[in-house]
Chain A
């Protein structure tokens, strides 16, 4: 069983052999590896989804301005904007992903899924999916389990941490989880779910982690919105049986390879990319503490 979440192929074979849906295998894994009961698992998932929904609400209702000033109630502005680019649903999707992530940046309560930096993506996508398709909570929870299985494999084969694999590992993995969950919830089969994951990874590959001033705000917040959008576009493509061509396991390998070869200034160190721009530097000077005692060099 421990082998199960080593790759997508193994997960599929296991489910086909036992004739069970994808989420069942994730439950069996957790029961066996973590000694949890099924009831505990469902309760934990419901709690997580409740916190996700609350984060969306909080971000759209309460004041969301961060200490640095870089985050300033962006989600509400998008939600209330009379100009609708695509459709009201799309506008809601984007504002909800922003909302939950803004809550994270402003010291509110969120679910790290898979990480705190990516904590707006599953709330934004699942909330909106449930609303549009009138899904039961139970279906969303099953979708979250599928997402968890996806993340377990990515963690094994690549990474989920910006400091290790760049932002593709954080927001990219969250988008992949969301895409798989969406396809599952809309009745997609195993191949369609995995294809959605493959397509999403292809869209997110190479994204570096370059947070301004080292704070999880810019570009993290807007990337949660774009990742939510990509999850939906990938799901739409996968549900129409348009192949990613490169199989999902190979896409994950590519993500790991790219993450490994990324220079460390693109891995949460705030030394490259947006963090290194003149404006990024100026902000960093302003928000970081300057009154600091510097010890003399040793050796």
Chain B
């Protein structure tokens, strides 16, 4: 998403109603979250905060989030029938509403997803016009938009880790757009979230996965592709 608008921002986007922040943005949050999980979930606990907490039914954000969790795109007509599709697919879900969460953005959703033994948690914001920010992943600060290519590295907090990672990426001719690093404590677990202008080769990902102090690599190419 570059700064200046183009004609397809004026005549477009093609989308499922009623509003870009309540449907398109929410679908995209779901799509980003299942990529963090690495698969479609069996179970989801979905918490709507603040402005979303009261209006999620009326705006259809409940159907939109289930659609995203089933990997539907933002202009997919099936979004309207998400409940039926979720039932068919055996996706179990629970909705919760929390108001007055003053530290969170007005349109925030928390997703707790489970697939077999694996469970993840994502906190996301719908910023308007379908644009999103994934604010947190598993309690770590993340802040990525999911519209470029994103790499999430969970690793031991070791010296030189950041330099090492950026060195590897530069070998793949990869330009880093943003980078967020947060950690649980000194020499504990750190989380690197890197947004890149272009994608990574499978070989590079394999290599990074083989490094001893790296626990997990999650790679999320542009979620709209």
Contact surface of A with B, Cβ cutoff 8 Å: 2, 26, 29-30, 33-34, 36, 41, 44-45, 47-48, 51, 67-68, 103-117, 119, 122, 144-145, 147-149, 151-152, 155, 160-161, 163, 177, 213-217, 287-298
Asked if B10 and A110 make an inter-chain contact with CB atoms under 8 angstroms apart, the answer reads: no
Q: Given the complex of chains A and B, what is the CA–CA distance between A288 and B4 in angstroms?
A: 36
Asked if A112 and B18 make an inter-chain contact with CB atoms under 8 angstroms apart, the answer reads: no
Asked if A44 and B99 make an inter-chain contact with CB atoms under 8 angstroms apart, the answer reads: no
Count of B interface residues, CB-CB < 8 Å: 40
Q: Given the complex of chains A and B, what is the CA–CA distance between A104 and B63 in angstroms?
A: 14
Asked if A155 and B5 make an inter-chain contact with CB atoms under 8 angstroms apart, the answer reads: yes
18 contacts between A and B (CB under 8 A): A107-B23, A109-B75, A110-B15, A113-B12, A114-B11, A116-B17, A116-B19, A145-B7, A152-B7, A213-B55, A215-B18, A216-B59, A287-B58, A289-B54, A289-B57, A289-B97, A295-B98, A295-B99
Asked if B77 and A67 make an inter-chain contact with CB atoms under 8 angstroms apart, the answer reads: no
Q: Given the complex of chains A and B, what is the CA–CA distance between A67 and B75 in angstroms?
A: 20
Q: Does B210 contact A (CB under 8 A)?
A: no
Q: Given the complex of chains A and B, what is the CA–CA distance between A106 and B53 in angstroms?
A: 20
Contact of B12 (CB < 8 Å), options: A67, A112, A213, A296: A112
Nearest CB of chain B from residue A123's CB, rounded to whole Å: 11
Known: A67-B58, A294-B100. A45 touches B18 (CB 8 A): no
Asked if B11 and A144 make an inter-chain contact with CB atoms under 8 angstroms apart, the answer reads: yes
Asked if A107 and B102 make an inter-chain contact with CB atoms under 8 angstroms apart, the answer reads: no
- Which residues from chain A contact B7 at a C-beta distance below 8 Å? 26, 29-30, 41, 145, 148-149, 152
Asked if B12 and A293 make an inter-chain contact with CB atoms under 8 angstroms apart, the answer reads: no
- Which residues from chain A contact B23 at a C-beta distance below 8 Å? 107
* CB-based closest 5 A-B pairs: A104-B17, A151-B10, A292-B97, A148-B7, A148-B10
Q: Given the complex of chains A and B, what is the CA–CA distance between A272 and B12 in angstroms?
A: 29
Known: A34-B6, A48-B12. A293 touches B97 (CB 8 A): yes
Q: Does B101 contact A (CB under 8 A)?
A: yes
- Report the nearest B residue to A122, measured CB to CB: B11
Nearest CB of chain A from residue B121's CB, rounded to whole Å: 18
- Which residues from chain B contact A2 at a C-beta distance below 8 Å? 4
Which one of A105, A109, A144, A155 has the highest number of Cβ atoms from chain B below 10 Å of its Cβ?
A: A109
Asked if A297 and B102 make an inter-chain contact with CB atoms under 8 angstroms apart, the answer reads: yes
Contact of A213 (CB < 8 Å), options: B9, B16, B20, B58: B58
Asked if A68 and B58 make an inter-chain contact with CB atoms under 8 angstroms apart, the answer reads: yes
- Which residues from chain A contact B219 at a C-beta distance below 8 Å? none
Q: Given the complex of chains A and B, what is the CA–CA distance between A163 and B128 in angstroms?
A: 10
Known: A26-B7, A109-B75. A288 touches B17 (CB 8 A): no
Q: Does B94 contact A (CB under 8 A)?
A: no
Interface string of B53-95 (1 = CB under 8 A from A): 1111111100100000000000101011000000000000000
Asked if A107 and B58 make an inter-chain contact with CB atoms under 8 angstroms apart, the answer reads: no
Q: Given the complex of chains A and B, what is the CA–CA distance between A289 and B57 in angstroms?
A: 7
Q: Does B8 contact A (CB under 8 A)?
A: yes
Asked if B58 and A288 make an inter-chain contact with CB atoms under 8 angstroms apart, the answer reads: yes
Q: Given the complex of chains A and B, what is the CA–CA distance between A114 and B59 in angstroms?
A: 19
Asked if B20 and A112 make an inter-chain contact with CB atoms under 8 angstroms apart, the answer reads: yes
Nearest CB of chain A from residue B79's CB, rounded to whole Å: 6
Q: Given the complex of chains A and B, what is the CA–CA distance between A116 and B102 in angstroms?
A: 28
Asked if B11 and A109 make an inter-chain contact with CB atoms under 8 angstroms apart, the answer reads: no
- Which residues from chain B contact A161 at a C-beta distance below 8 Å? 128
- Which residues from chain A contact B8 at a C-beta distance below 8 Å? 44, 48
Asked if A216 and B102 make an inter-chain contact with CB atoms under 8 angstroms apart, the answer reads: no
- Which residues from chain B contact A145 at a C-beta distance below 8 Å? 7
